[in-house]
Structure 1
């Protein structure tokens, strides 16, 4: 049976599919999750441990020694991606408060917009970009996790944080960054852990969800996903074109929500318990946004590349000239 390959065909499948399976098990066989011991630790209460392991593995892949053009492109897009989530969150919080409007809360907005799908970006840049676009992911990887979301919520005034709890939330990421940059063998060793931990983490999060809320979150999540693409595009494509003087396809390629963002509301609740009541709805909505953005982002990126150009089209044009010549 091709179970893994089937799951991988779903956008963000390694995160989204186990999440929904966890919710189904919690509804149908809740007693299984309460057997205790390693069963409960692995399938219900182990979310924090899996989150920590995942963040450490992610951190190990962030290279701090990259310089030059990749660094410049990565820095501009990273800042633009953060502002795409932060600025609308500040505005939404000022007008509607932490409860948000039409089911979209500042927590959902910042969690979904400030995280981008690194695998999607690399895949699109392999098709449309050049080596400098690919190298920019070394900085863009910083947004793959809770750090920027935590920082943004605090700065936006949505919540106040116990800085000790905030530090505790990002220590695994920092440890991973240090180890990965000290020893490339450690970086290589930890790389598979990013994908390996995701299904376990997602299943544990799913066991804390109510299926009725997932249905509601699905409707809200579709709207959230469209907002992610629109808001991100306004900031990142504009920055790509005006600041980097590039065609804009790279800015379009980060108009996504990362699969890891599904875990961000739960992480935030640990650092800021006053938002704990929003975790369930935010998790469901962000999970849906992962799928929606994964569908829309390649379309937007392709349109930008065709309209304003990209290295791939330039290479193809040169190849056609050589053939004609």
Structure 2
């Protein structure tokens, strides 16, 4: 059976297909991956570990000349992702107030739209992007968590947390140092980028429950659509006209992080007046995370076929760097 070759025919297939399988199993037969021990650690709770390993291997492929390019791409996409949630949130506040419209509140827009599923982005870029797209994760990682939501809501005293930033890119920095100290280490770690993808995709998928779409109801589905549409509107022009890139990296960021389900509760601690929105917001964000995790890779595959990709340039750039 040519399973691997069949999977590889799908752009991002090494990430997408295991993700779907993981989500289906977690929804229908969660007990299979919750038995504990090595099985659970590998197939259920290992997402962060696989992301860390992937980033270490990615960091090793970035030479000193490529740092500026990676930071430029990451910076532009991160700012665009923030504006995609911030500007609509401001409009909703001015017209409808904090209660929003059709259940879509400013807090929901900020928590869901400004966040990004980094696992999906890394998985897709490992197959269809180049090493600078992967290196952009150093800044895109800032979208995960409550930082942008709190900043967008204007909470005083909420600045960057240096420790959190270091923690999010620590393994990439280690890989970057090792790869630049020893070319043999760089070459050795190169294969790890692809090797970790199926494990990363499956473990991300096992954190998704398709039932959450139903629980989130109309608000959750609408929020998921808004995340995709607003991210597309803001990120694609930034990628195409500012970075002069094909646009696939922008589309790969049209998702919301599942970790954002905790953001409403965190925000309510700083803004008690929003505490009444926590329960509804949590289920809606959970639904949005599932919807975007499914749609984002598919949409990326579509635009790759339409706009092209740079996987071919990855091999040539590595040869030139060597």
TM range (shorter): 0.5 to 0.7
Aligned: 1:10 with 2:26: no
TM-score in terms of structure 1 length: 0.64
> Structure 1 residues 138, 95: CA separation in 2 closer, same or farther (over 3 Å shift)?
same
Per the alignment, residue 179 of structure 2 pairs with none
> Structure 1 residues 129, 181: CA separation in 2 closer, same or farther (over 3 Å shift)?
closer
Q: Secondary structure at the match of 1:242?
A: helix
> Structure 1 residues 182, 260: CA separation in 2 closer, same or farther (over 3 Å shift)?
closer
Q: Tell whether the 8 Å contact from 2:107 to 2:264 is kept in structure 1 after alignment.
A: yes
Per the alignment, residue 284 of structure 1 pairs with 283
Per the alignment, residue 15 of structure 2 pairs with none
Inter-partner Cα distance in structure 1 for 2:69 and 2:19: 37
Q: Secondary structure at the match of 2:99?
A: coil
Greater shift, 245-254 or 263-272, is seen at 263-272
Deviation of 1:106 (Å)? 1.0
Inter-partner Cα distance in structure 1 for 2:261 and 2:132: 29
Q: Which runs of 4+ in 1 moved over 3 A?
A: 5-8, 176-185, 213-216, 313-316
Any residues of structure 2 matched to 1:189-228 within 5 Å, and which?
A: 217-228=216-227
Per the alignment, residue 123 of structure 1 pairs with 123
1:143-188 residue CA offsets vs partner (Å, 9 max, x unmatched): 111101100111xxxxxx353xx46xx7xx5323356778967xxx
Q: Tell whether the 8 Å contact from 2:258 to 2:286 is kept in structure 1 after alignment.
A: yes
Deviation of 1:73 (Å)? 0.3
> Structure 1 residues 259, 175: CA separation in 2 closer, same or farther (over 3 Å shift)?
same
Per the alignment, residue 38 of structure 1 pairs with none
Inter-partner Cα distance in structure 2 for 1:286 and 1:79: 21
Q: Secondary structure at the match of 2:220?
A: helix
Per the alignment, residue 82 of structure 1 pairs with 82
> Structure 1 residues 162, 276: CA separation in 2 closer, same or farther (over 3 Å shift)?
farther
Indicate which of 170, 177, 182 corresponds to 2:165: 177
- Unaligned stretches of 5+ residues in structure 2: 1-17, 32-47, 175-199, 316-322
How many aligned residue pairs are there? Answer: 239
- Unaligned stretches of 5+ residues in structure 1: 19-53, 155-160, 186-194, 203-210, 317-325
Inter-partner Cα distance in structure 2 for 1:294 and 1:151: 25
Aligned-residue CA RMSD (Å): 3.9
Q: Tell whether the 8 Å contact from 1:85 to 1:113 is kept in structure 2 after alignment.
A: yes
Aligned: 1:143 with 2:143: yes
> Structure 1 residues 250, 179: CA separation in 2 closer, same or farther (over 3 Å shift)?
closer
TM-score in terms of structure 2 length: 0.64
